[in-house]
Amino acid sequence: MPVIHPSEAVTHEIHGARFVSFATPLSGSKELCAWRGEIPAGTKAPAHTVNREEILHLLAGELLITLDGDTHRVTAGDTVIVNPGATLSVENPTDGTAVTWVTTSIGLSAELADGTVITPPWAN
């Protein structure tokens, strides 16, 4: 069983957030990807539509999660299920960093409102 130590995780940054990647095909995963997300205070990520299910668990902080137009206040300990085809936006309205743990299947992509498709390296 592969063990990924924090020093071996790969960090990516986009839209003001950090994605610390632990499980991907490059680290030995065959079906799933997992990463820690760090969303700084005041960050608002653009809305995007995902092609794979994502499970987001909030470890610390508070977020406003909008799924298909419905906004939910999520606090530490809450879990959000984002189904394939859902449009998601994430906002941290607080003055502290929110920390998430996210899992999805390999091959996740996200389409922004302007049609741009992002294939994040932490999920492929």
Nearest Cα to Cα of residue 63 among 38, 26, 34, 81: 38
Partnered with residue 81 across adjacent β-strands are 55
Give the DSSP letter of residue 50.
E
Q: Are 22 and 4 in contact (CB under 8 A)?
A: yes
Identify residue 120 by its one-letter amino acid code.
P
Percent of residues, the chain, with pLDDT higher than 90: 94
Kindly provide the b/e burial profile for residues 78-95, where b requires at least 16 CB atoms within 10 angstroms of the residue's own CB: eebebeeeebbbbbbeee
Per-residue pLDDT reduced to its tens digit, 26-40: 999 999 999 999 999
Classified as helix, coil or strand, 123 is: helix
What tens digit of pLDDT does each residue of 48-70 get? 999 999 999 999 999 999 999 99
pLDDT of 1 above 80:
no
What predicted TM-score, i.e. pTM, was given to this entire model? 0.92
State the pLDDT at residue 9: 92
124 pLDDT higher than 90: no
Nearest-angstrom CA–CA distance, 74 and 64? 6
Walk me through the domains of the chain, giving residue ranges and CATH numbers.
6-112 (2.60.120.10)
pLDDT of residue 2: 85
> Amino acid identity, residue 3?
V
- Give mean pLDDT, residues 84-97: 97
